[in-house]
Structures are given as structure tokens and as C-alpha cells.
């Protein structure tokens, strides 16, 4: 068994967002979220517990999972605000790259994501959901804008091996 080492450039983690299903992360309109600082991939199966008078322990039934990607990112103008094509109304104006994180979240736009655990050669987790939790912050001791970002997953994750076109 080998660990997933993300310390070299060829193994950096990647998060890609799109307003359509992602089949190739290099496709037009796909937004690569750069500046990832902290990433948590959450898969919390719900649980219903009950007690019975004829049992010495609790019984459990599993309910649907709550899935999310929780990140902390260093903000980049193009990633946060988009490429500006939204106002131009071009053919790519509704893409994730054109809208940026702020507009995708503010407009409650469904996003499709692909998260690569360690570059283009390791497992990928993908799915769709909505962005939330943006809260940009800057301080004198932290002179760059940093924000949490949550991808609230709708449904379950899809997993795969290898990258998606990096």
C-alpha cells in the first residue's frame, strides 16, 4: 500500500469546476480552482439509531450521506470573479471559467466538479452540487485574501482512477 504524496508539482491536488459534466479538464469553460490550502473530502453517512427492550445494544440503520468538499483557498481574481465573459454575453458566458466562484455561488448555479487527489495519476472524485461558504478575509498579518469554500454535493460521489485529461 502506498500513500498519496502531493508534495511534488506532478502530484499536486486539483479541483476543477464546470457548468456541464466534466469529461476533460482541459475543455473550454472548465475552471481550475487554484490556491488550495486545505482540503477535506467529507462522506458522512447518516445514521438512525433506536433502542428496543429486547436488545442489549442500540440498533442502527444507515440513511443517505451528506457529502461535501471543504476547502480553504487563496483568492485569485480570475478564479473568484471569472474571466469577465459573463457581461460580454459570448458563447462561453455561462461557463464556470467565465462566471468565477463568486457568481457561481451567488447565482446558485449547479456545478460539476472533478477533484484529483494527487495530480493526474491518482483517483478522482467527481459529482455535482452547489458552492457555498465563501467568506473572503484579509488581515495585516495575512495580506492576501483567503476564503473557505464548500462544494455541497448533491447525491453521491463518483470515483475513478487516473486523471481527467490533465
- The pLDDT tens digits for 15-51 are 999 999 998 888 889 999 999 999 999 999 999 999 9
Query: Residue 5 falls within a domain, yes or no?
Result: no
CATH number at residue 100: 2.40.30
- The pLDDT of residue 11: 77
Provide the domain count of the chain.
Answer: 1
Full residue range of the structural domain in which residue 87 is found: 13-160
Query: Residue 112 falls within a domain, yes or no?
Result: yes
- The pLDDT of residue 90: 56
Query: Residue 1 falls within a domain, yes or no?
Result: no
CA distance 88 to 99: 11
pTM of the predicted model as reported, rounded to 2 decimal places = 0.85
Query: Residue 3 falls within a domain, yes or no?
Result: no
Q: What is the number of H-type helices and E-type strands within the chain?
A: 3, 9
- The pLDDT of residue 13: 87
Query: Residue 140 falls within a domain, yes or no?
Result: yes
Query: Residue 165 falls within a domain, yes or no?
Result: no
- The pLDDT of residue 166: 47
Query: Residue 116 falls within a domain, yes or no?
Result: yes
Q: Which residues pair with 47 in a beta bridge?
A: 62
- The pLDDT of residue 120: 57
- The pLDDT of residue 123: 80
Cell 449547479 appears where? 110
Q: By the 8 A CB rule, do 21 and 113 touch?
A: no
- The pLDDT of residue 144: 96
Low-confidence ranges of the chain (pLDDT < 50): 166
Q: What percentage of the chain's residues is helix, strand, coil (to nearest 5)? A: 15, 45, 40
Query: Residue 2 falls within a domain, yes or no?
Result: no
Burial class of residue 38, CB neighbours in 10 A (0-12, 13-18, 19+): exposed
Amino acid at each position: 500500500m502506498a500513500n498519496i504524496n502531493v508534495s511534488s508539482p506532478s502530484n499536486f491536488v486539483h479541483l476543477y469546476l464546470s457548468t456541464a459534466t466534466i469529461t476533460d479538464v482541459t475543455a473550454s469553460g472548465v475552471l481550475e480552482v487554484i490556491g488550495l490550502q486545505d482540503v477535506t473530502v467529507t462522506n458522512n453517512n447518516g445514521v438512525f439509531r433506536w433502542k428496543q427492550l429486547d436488545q442489549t445494544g442500540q440498533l442502527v440503520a444507515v440513511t443517505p450521506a451528506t457529502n461535501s468538499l471543504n476547502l480553504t483557498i487563496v483568492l485569485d481574481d480570475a478564479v473568484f470573479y471569472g474571466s469577465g465573459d459573463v457581461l460580454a454575453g459570448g458563447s462561453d458566458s455561462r461557463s464556470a471559467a467565465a462566471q468565477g466562484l463568486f457568481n457561481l455561488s451567488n447565482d446558485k448555479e449547479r456545478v460539476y466538479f472533478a477533484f484529483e487527489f494527487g495530480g493526474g495519476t491518482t483517483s478522482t472524485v467527481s459529482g455535482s452540487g452547489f458552492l457555498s461558504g465563501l467568506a473572503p478575509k484579509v488581515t495585516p498579518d495575512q495580506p492576501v485574501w483567503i476564503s473557505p469554500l464548500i462544494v455541497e454535493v448533491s447525491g453521491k460521489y463518483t470515483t475513478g482512477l487516473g486523471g481527467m485529461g490533465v
